[in-house]
Structure 1
Amino acid sequence: MRQASSFEKIQVCARLIQQADPRQSKLFYSCFAVYTALVLFEPFGMRAFLNRWGDGTESMLSAIGFLTAIMLLRQLFGTVELLARTRLQDALPPLYERKLAENMQRLSLEQAEDAGVQDLLFKSKRLNLAKAGVNAYSVLCDALSLAVILVLVLVFGNGLAAGMVLLFTAWGVYAQTVQTKRTADLVRAQGSEQRLLDRLFRLGIERESHMEIRVLSANDFLRKRWKQHMNMLVEALASRERQAAWRTTPPVLVYFFLQALLAAFVGWGVIREGGTAGDFVFLFTLVNLFGDLATGFSGKLNVLIRDARMAEDLWQFLNLPAGLRPKAVTQPLPEKNAVVSLRNISYRYPNADRAALQEIDLTIYEGETLAIVGEMGSGKSTLVKVLAGLLPVETGEVVWNAETVALGATFPVTSVFQDFNRFHMTVQENIGLGHLADLQNKERMKKLLQDLGLPHDLEFLQKQLGTEFGGEDLSGGQWQRVAIARALLKPHRLVTFDEPTAALDPKAEVELIELFLRLAENQAKLIVTHRLAAVKKADRSVVMERGRIVEIGTHEQLMSRDSRYRDLFESQASWYAEEVPR
C-alpha cells in the first residue's frame, strides 16, 4: 500500500477532530489564533507605555489602557481556548476508538486476523489524536509568530544579528528534526515488539491468565521475558537518543550564545539610533519572545514528526481495502430437503503452506445431524467458518436451497464456537445479542433458559455478569448454555456446534450435545468434535484429514469396515476402558 502524503495525514486527523465536536474544535482553533496574535501585541503595548512615560496623565492613561486591554484579552481568549481544548480532548477518544472498531468490522476475517493489520491497529491506538491536533496547530501558530517577530526585529532592530540567529536556529531545528525522524522510524518499526510487550504485560494483569500463571509459578519467567523485551526496545531508543543529543548540542549552544549577543546588539543599535527606553524594551522583549518560541517550536516540531509517523499508520489502517466478503448464493437444489450444498470447495489461509480445505463436496439436509470429526488441523473449524460466511472460498461455491431458505442480511447460520464470548453484560443482553430484534423478548429467553436447565426467572435474566465490573460469574457449563441460548435465538436454517464442550469431561460433553440435539431437533445441525463418543447419535459422520473428506457414513457403516473413523473411535475408546479387577 502506498504511503500517505502530508496533506492526506492532516486531512484524516482534522476530519476526526472536527467530527468529535465541531463547535469546540472551531472555538479552540479561533481562540488559539487570537491568543497567539495578542502575545505579539504585548511588546507594542509596553513600548507605548514606556515612550509616553512623563508625557502627561492623559497620555499615560491611554498607554496603560492599551496595555491592560491586550493583557486582559489575552487572558480571556487563553481561558476560552483552554476550556474548548479540554472538551475537545474529552470528546475525541470515544469517537477515535469507535472509528477504529468500525474499520476493523469493515475488514474481512482474514484481514482482521492478519499480523500486519493487528500491528497497524496497535500503532494507531497509540496515537493521542487530541494532543496531536493541538500540537500541530500550535506548531503552525508558532511558525507564523516567529516569522512576524523576525520581520519586526529586521524593521526596528539590527538585521545582521537577526539573520545570524535565524541561521543557527534553522540549523538546530534541522539537526533535531533529522534525528527525530530516525527515532520515529525506529519506534514505528518496533510495532510488533511493542505489541508483544503489551501482550506480556496483559498476561500479568488479566483475570483469565491469573490462575494458570500462579499454579505454574510462571510469574518470574514472564517478568524476565517482559524485562528482556523492554530492555531491548529501550536500549535501541537510548542509542538513537544519544546520537541525537551529540548532533544537536552544538547548534543549540551556538544559538544561546547568539541570543545573548543579539540582546547586546539590540542595546547598541537603540543607543546608536537615538532610540528610547521603550524602543529598547520593545526589541529586547521581541528577542526573548523569539528565543522562547524557537525553543518551544523545536520541541513541538519533534512531537509533530513522531505524531506524523503514527498518523501514517492511522491513514494506512483506515484506508485498508476491504477484503473479499463471501456472498450467499441461492438456487433450487435437486434434493428438495437439502438446506445447503458445498460444491468443490477449497480454501487456503494467507501465507499457509497447504490448503485448509481441498475439493470439499457435501450436502446438508433438513433436520439432519451431521458430525464432522478428525484430528486437530484437519480443517473442521475452517469448514464451519466457510459455512457461516466468515471466509471466502478460493474455488467452488456454497449454495443454499432457494426453495427452503430466505436469505437476509447475514448467512442463515448460527454457531456456538469453542472460544465463545463471555460478555460482561446482563444475562438478557448476553442472549439478546443473538438476535437484537428479540432483545426485549423475555418470554422467549425464559423458555430457552428453561430448556437448557438454567434458572429462567426475571432475576436471573437481569443478573450482571463479570466479576471485574462488580457482577457475578457463572460456571463453565452455565456459560456454555448461555452461549447456546444466544445462538438459538438467531433465525437460522443451520446451527453449528464447533467444539464448545472441549473443556468438559466426556460424560458432560455427551450430555450437553444431547441437550443441544433435542433443542434443535427439526433443524439442520452440524457438530464438530474430535471426541467420537459424542457423535454416535449423528445421522452421518464426516471424517476429515488434511483438509479433505476421506470418509462419510453412519456410525454403524463406518464401524463395520476397516476405516479411519473406526481407528479413531477404538483408539479413543481405549482411553476410557476400565480395568475390571479379578
Structure 2
Amino acid sequence: MKKEDAELEDISLSNILRSIQYWPRVFRILWETHKAYLLIIAVINILQGLTPVVALLTTTQLINSVAKSHQQGTFEAIGWAFAIYVVLGLFSQCLALVENYLNPLFERLLTNRINILIMEKSIQLSLSAFEDSDIQDQLQRARQETSYRPYQIFSSIFTLGTSFITLFSTVALIVAWNAWVAVLLILIPVSSFVSFLRLGKEEFILNYKRAPRQREAWYLGFLLTKDSTFKEVKLFQLGTYLKARYEELFQGFYKEDKRLIRKRSLTSVSFEIFYQMVIGAIILLILWTAYVGQLLVGNVVGMIQATNLTHGTSQGIVQGILSLCQHNLYMKNLFAYLDLEQKSVASLPPSSAEFDVSGIESIEFRNVTFQYPGRGVPALRDISFTLRRGETIAIVGKNGSGKTTLLKCITQLYDDFQGDILINGISIRTINIEELRKKIGVVFQDFVHYEMDVRHNIGFGDIDSINQDDELLQAASQAGIQEMVEELPQKLETRLGLWFEEGHQLSGGQWQRIAIARAFMRKADLYILDEPSSYLDPEAEKDVFDKFYNLVKGKLGIFITHRYSSVSFADKIIVMDQGRIVEQGSHRELMKEDGIYAGLYHLQASSFVMNEDENDA
C-alpha cells in the first residue's frame, strides 16, 4: 500500500474530530495576521450572538404590551418596547456594517499570510526536495485551498461562537416553558452529524487523490496559454490534442463532484423533511398550549420564533462543526507542507554554520557520489578533483554524464551527497551556505527569462547593487550587450518578454547574454557557466568566452560546453562519462593520451572540415 493511501485509510471519524489539534496553530496565524481586526471581529460576533435573543424578547414584550395597552387604555408601555425594538435594529445594522467592512480586509491579509508561509518554506527547500513529485503534490494540496480555506476556518470559528451564544440563550427561554422540547430541538440536527461527517471525509479523500491530476490539468493549461510554448504547440498542431486531454481531466473531476453533490443533496433533503415535520408538531403544541390559556399571544409568537431559531441555530452549529473539521483536514495538508522533515530542507541553515568564507581560494571534491531519489544508478560516482584560484576548468562529456549535477553539488543545490566537498580545505557542510553563494556567479543551461525590466534581469545577480547603473552597464558590457541595452526604448527600465504591457522580446541569444550579465554582476570568486553558448553564433560564442577568461583571471572558473573550440584555453579539462571522471588534464595532455577527449575533439573538428569542403564544392 502506498504511503498516501495508508494516510487516507487513517482518516477515521475520530481522527477528523481530533483535527481540533490544529486550532492553536490556526489561531496563532490569525493573531499574527492582524491583532486589532481579529479582536474587533471577535467582539462583534459575541454581540451578534446575543442580538437575536434580545430581539426575540423585545418582540414578545412589544406584542404583549399592545394587548395590555388595549386593556389599560395607555400607550406608554408600547412606546418603550417600540423604542427598544428600533434601537436594537439600528445596533444590529451597525454591527453588520463594521463586520462587512473588516471581514474582506482580514480575508485578504490572511490569504497573503498563508501564501507567505508557503513561499518561505519553498525558499528553504533543497533542489532535490523541490524536484520530488511527492513534495510537489504536497505543495499542490497546500496551495489549492489557500485562497479561501484559512478564512473559512476563521469565519467558521466565529460563526460557531455566535451560534452557541444564541443557542444557549434561546434554549434557556424554551426550557422555562418545556424542557423536553428544548432537548428534542437540540437532538434533531445531531442525528445528521455522522452522515455529513462521512461525506466530508469522502470529499477530502477525493481531493487528496486528485492532486496529481490537478497538476496535470494546470500544466496543460500552461502549455496552451503561455508564449514560451506557443510556437511548438502551433507548429506541431498540438492545441486540439492538449485541449481534449484537459477536457478529459475536467470531465473526470466533474463526474466525481456530481456524484458527491448528489449524495449530499439527497441527505440534506431527507433530514430537512424530517426536521420540518418535528418543528410542525412543536408549533402545534405551542398553539394548543395558548388555546388552553397557558400562554399569552406575545409569548406564542416568541416561542414559535425561539423554536425556529433554536432549530436553525443548532442545525447551523452541526454544519459549522462539520465544515470546521473538513477545513481542518485541508489545513493538515498545509501544515504537512510547512512541517516537512529537515531532510527535505537545505541541510545546514545559515544560523547553524560554523564557518563563513571571506573568499574562495580552492575547491576540492573528495570521492563525491550523488544519487537522485528513486533512481538505482548514481548520477555522480566517486568524483575527485581540485580547482585553485587562478585556474579555469572545462567539463565535457556526453549528455547525461553528470556535468550539470556536479555544478549543482558545488552550489549546494544538491546537498545530500556522499563524500565531501572542501572549500579552502573546510568541509562545505560546515560552511555558511548563504555566504558561500554570494561568492558564486552562475548561468545554468535552463536559465530564467525574468519577465521584468533589464535592471532586474541583470541586477538580480547582486540585489544590493540593483540601483547602481554603472555596475549594471559594466556587467552588460562584460556580457557583450551594453550597446543592445542602450538601444532599448527605455534602456535599463525596458521590460523584457511579452507577458506584460510594453514588453520587449529578445532573441534566444540575447536572453542568454542577459543571463550571463546577471552572473557577471555578482562580485564573485567563482564563476560557473553551463552551456553558455547554446543560443550563440560562433562569433558571439568566441566573444563571450574571451570576456569570461578575462573576467576569471585571478579567480576560479568552471564551464560546461559541447563545443570544443573554446575548451583548449582552459587550465584543466575534465571528461565525464556515466557519472565518472574518465579523463582530466590540459588540452595538450589529453590530446597526447589520444583517449575519449581526443576522439570527440577530432570528431567535431572533422565535421567542420567536411562542411568547409562541401561549401567549397
TM-score, with structure 1 as normaliser: 0.91
Match of 1:445? 472
Q: Which of 135, 139, 149 is the aligned partner of 2:170?
A: 149
How far apart are the structure 1 equivalents of 2:262 and 2:213? 22
Q: Is the CA contact 1:180–1:244 (under 8 Å) kept in the aligned structure 2?
A: no
Shift of 1:497: 0.5
Distance (Å, rounded) in 2 between the aligned partners of 1:376 and 1:278: 87
Change (3 A) 1:249 1:207: same
Match of 1:170 in 2: 190
Contact 1:329 1:399 in 2 (8 A): no
Which moves more between the two structures, 96-105 or 15-24? Answer: 15-24
Does the 8 A contact of 1:544 with 1:550 survive in 2? yes
Equivalent-residue separation in structure 1 for 2:138 and 2:365 (angstroms): 35
Deviations 1:319-354 (A, max 9, x none): 12333436889899xxxx962111111112222212
1:76 aligns to 2:107 (yes or no): no
Residue number in structure 2 paired with 1:59: 77
Residue matched to 2:347: 325
Report what 2:560 is aligned to.
Answer: 528
CA offsets per residue over residues 447-484 of structure 1, 9 Å max, x none? 22223332365952222334322232332222222211
Task: Check if 1:130 corresponds to 2:151.
Answer: yes
Distance in 2 separating the partners of 1:331 and 1:39: 64
Tell me the SS of whatever aligns to 2:225: coil
Helix, strand or coil: the match of 1:385? helix
Unaligned runs of 5+ in 1: none
Residue type at the aligned position of 2:581: I
Change (3 A) 1:381 1:329: farther
Query: Residue 473 and residue 81 in structure 1: after superposition, are their counterparts in 2 closer, same or farther (change >3 A)?
Result: same
SS at match of 1:217: coil
Aligned to 1:497: 529
Match of 1:357 in 2: 380
Which residue number corresponds to residue 102 of structure 1? 120
Q: 2:498 aligns with which of 443, 446, 467?
A: 467
Q: 1:442 to 1:571 in 2, by over 3 A?
A: same
Establish whether residue 269 from structure 1 lines up as the match of residue 282 from structure 2. Answer: no
Contact 2:50 2:169 in 1 (8 A): no
**Distance in 2 between the 1:57 and 1:530 partners?**
100
> C-alpha distance in 1, partners of 2:355/2:160?
58
- Show CA shifts across 1:1-39 (max 9, x none): 999953442222222222222211211121122112112
SS at structure 2 position matched to 1:45: helix
| Kept after mapping to 2: 8 A contact 1:329/1:400 | no
Change (3 A) 1:450 1:254: same
| Structure-to-structure mapping, 1:370-519, within 5 angstroms | 370-401=393-424, 409-411=435-437, 412-454=439-481, 455=483, 457=486, 459-470=490-501, 471-504=503-536, 508-519=540-551
Higher deviation after alignment, 558-567 or 418-427? 558-567
- Shift of the 575–309 alpha-carbon distance from structure 1 to 2, 3 Å rule, reads farther
- Cα deviation for residue 191 of structure 1 reads 1.5
Q: Which aligned pairs between 1:185-224 and structure 2 lie closer than 5 A? A: 185-224=205-244
Question: Pick from 29, 43, 47: which aligns with 1:30?
Answer: 43
Give the structure 2 partner of residue 560 of structure 1: 592
Shift of the 68–518 alpha-carbon distance from structure 1 to 2, 3 Å rule, reads: same
Matched, 1:16 2:16: no
Encode CA deviations 1:477-498: one digit per residue, 9 max, x unaligned.
2222221122122232211101
**Maintained 8 Å contact 1:47/1:282:** yes
CA distance in 2, matches of 1:540, 1:530: 16
Alpha-carbon separation, structure 2, partners of 1:8 and 1:465: 48
Q: Which amino acid aligns with 1:173?
A: F
Distance change (3 Å), C-alpha of 1:503 and 1:447? closer
1:131: how far off? Answer: 3.4
SS in 1 for 2:533: coil
Deviations 1:185-214 (Å, cap 9, x if unpaired)? 221221222122122122222222222211
Read off the aligned partner of 1:528 and give its amino acid letter: I
Q: How many residues align?
A: 576
Structure 1 pair 90–160 and aligned structure 2 pair: CA distance change class (3 A): same
1:151 Cα deviation from its structure 2 partner: 3.5
Measure how far apart 1:564 and its partner are: 1.8
- For 2:91 and 2:255, how far apart are their aligned partners in 1? 48
CA separation of 1:7 and 1:175: change in aligned 2, threshold 3 A: closer
RMSD over aligned CA atoms reads 2.9
Q: Give the match's secondary structure for 1:435.
A: helix
Where 1:262 maps in the other structure, the secondary structure is: helix
Could you tell me how far apart the structure 1 residues matched to 2:271 and 2:249 are? 35
The aligned counterpart of 1:312 is 332
Q: Tell me which residue corresponds to 1:342.
A: 365
Q: Deviations over 1:528-581 (max 9, x none)?
A: 123334423222211111211111122233233342223333444455531436
Give the Å deviation of 1:523: 2.3
Contact kept, 8 Å, 2:221 with 2:246, in 1: the verdict is yes
- Amino acid across the alignment from 1:90: R
CA distance in structure 1 between the aligned counterparts of 2:221 and 2:273, rounded to whole angstroms? 41
Q: For residue 461 of structure 2, what is the amino acid of its counterpart?
A: G
Residues 142 and 293, structure 1, Cα contact 8 Å, conserved in 2: yes
2:160 to 139, 154, 168: 139
Moved more, 511-520 or 500-509: 500-509
2:435 partner amino acid: A
1:468 partner SS = coil
**CA deviation profile, 1:414-434 (whole Å, cap 9, x unmatched):** 211112122233222222222
Letter aligned with residue 451 of structure 2: H
**Gaps in structure 2 of 5+ consecutive residues:** none
| TM superposition shift of 1:147 | 4.0
1:18 maps to amino acid: W
Q: Residue 254 of structure 2 aligns with which residue?
A: 234
Residues 310 and 386 of structure 1: CA distance in aligned 2, closer, same or farther (over 3 Å) = same
Aligned AA for 1:523? Answer: K
The offset of 1:298, in angstroms, is 5.0
- Work out the percentage of aligned pairs sharing the same amino acid: 24
Using structure 2 for the length normalisation, give the TM-score: 0.86
Match of 2:105 among 75, 87, 106: 87
Shift of 1:316: 1.0
User: Which of 109, 112, 118 in structure 1 is aligned with 2:130?
Assistant: 112
Deviates more, 1:411-420 or 1:461-470: 461-470
Counterparts of 2:279 and 2:545 in 1: how far apart (Å)? 81
CA contact 2:59–2:85 (8 Å) conserved in 1: yes
Secondary structure of 1:552's match? strand
Distance change in 2, residues 1:346/1:90 (3 Å): same
Q: Distance in 2 between matches of 1:338 and 1:60?
A: 93
The question of whether the paired residues in 1 share the 8 Å contact of 2:186 and 2:311 is answered with no
Q: Which moved more, 1:87-96 or 1:514-523?
A: 514-523
Task: Quote the offset at 1:228 in angstroms.
Answer: 1.5
Mapped partners of 1:206, 1:302: distance in 2: 40
C-alpha deviation, 1:436, in angstroms: 2.4
Worse-superposed segment, 537-546 or 557-566: 557-566
Contact 2:49 2:165 in 1 (8 A): no
Q: How far did 1:308 drift?
A: 1.6
Q: Which amino acid is the alignment partner of residue 311 of structure 1?
A: M
Q: Report the AA paired with residue 538 of structure 1.
A: A
- SS of the aligned residue for 2:108 comes to helix
Greater mean alpha carbon deviation, residues 369-378 or residues 424-433:
424-433
Distance 1:153 1:12 in 2: 38
